[in-house]
């Protein structure tokens, strides 16, 4: 490895120490910290390129990457001690996540390319747990574009329609509830490949393991969008 490559590796490793501590107990603090972390990764082309390209030889991280019914999920970093994961979400075709749903965890997102319609729903009854479409009402309708950042508490409910080529940094926090919830009267509208929320400690299969061929296609998409450099250029 050249001296320049060693210097770049040291610089790229520094971000974990500088940005890698997130206080998930407070949503506002978590938002500021996640936004700084996501911007640092997303706007540092050399770092993002290294994290994506190294997946081909990093068996542990690659094993955590998934083909989700709506997108590809590339794992960029995982901190088991703090129980959070940094992912790159890549949408190849239009993705309609139209069934209102919450999440098991609080997360932050930062848009690198593309965009999506984002509906934040307000609960009319209980603040968390099971619900139907009659228990919620639209609260905020937003267009998330490049540079947009937001943090979403686990009990909040939303819907999204993502345009082709949408790419985002996604930072998933510690699990806050045993399973996710979706509008029970709209399960039939879940995207193909989606499983309905499972209770009783059963594992929910939200996606499957990414194949090496799928990973390479995603990598080429990111190169073509100008978000990362190819391995050939980095090794030159």
On whether the CB atoms of residues 109 and 170 are closer than 8 A, the answer is yes
Contact (CB, 8 A) for 48 and 55: no
Distance, first Cα to last Cα, the chain = 11
- Indicate whether 3 pLDDT > 60: no
> In the CATH scheme, what is the code of domain 3-235?
2.60.120.10
Q: Any idea what DSSP says for residue 196? A: P
- Alpha-carbon distance 170 to 44, whole Å? 16
Q: Give 123-142 pLDDT, tens digit per residue.
A: 998 888 999 999 999 999 99
**Residue 7: partners with Cβ closer than 8 Å, 6 or more residues away:** none
pLDDT tens digits along 47-94: 999 999 999 999 999 999 999 999 999 999 998 888 899 999 999 999
Domain spans in the chain, listed from the N-terminal domain onward? 3-235
Give the tens place of pLDDT for each residue, 12-49. 568 888 888 899 988 899 999 999 999 999 999 999 99
Centroid of chain to Cα 177:
18
Helix (H/G/I), strand (E/B), else coil: 118 = strand
Residue with more model confidence, 233 or 94: 94
């Amino acid at each position: 490895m050249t001296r320049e490559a060693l210097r770049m590796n040291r610089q790229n490793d520094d971000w974990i120490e500088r940005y890698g501590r997130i206080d998930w107990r407070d949503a506002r603090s978590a938002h500021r910290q996640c936004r700084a972390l996501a911007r640092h990764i997303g706007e540092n082309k050399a770092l993002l390129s290294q994290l994506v390209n190294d997946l081909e030889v990093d068996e542990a991280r690659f094993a955590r990457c998934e083909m989700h019914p709506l997108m590809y999920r590339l794992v960029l970093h995982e901190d088991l001690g703090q129980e959070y994961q940094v992912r790159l979400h890549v949408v190849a075709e239009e993705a309609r996540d139209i069934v209102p749903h919450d999440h098991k965890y609080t997360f932050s997102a930062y848009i690198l390319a593309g965009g999506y319609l984002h509906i934040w729903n307000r609960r009319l009854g209980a603040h968390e747990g099971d619900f139907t479409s009659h228990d919620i009402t639209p609260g905020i309708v937003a267009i998330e574009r490049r540079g947009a950042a937001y943090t979403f508490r686990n009990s909040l409910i939303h819907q999204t329609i993502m345009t082709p080529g949408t790419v985002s940094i996604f930072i998933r926090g510690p699990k806050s509830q045993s399973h996710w919830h979706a509008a029970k009267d709209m399960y039939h509208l879940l995207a193909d490949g989606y499983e309905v929320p499972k209770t009783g400690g059963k594992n929910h299969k939200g996606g499957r393991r990414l194949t090496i061929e799928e990973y390479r296609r995603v990598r080429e998409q990111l190169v073509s969008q100008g978000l990362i450099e190819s391995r050939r250029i980095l090794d030159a």
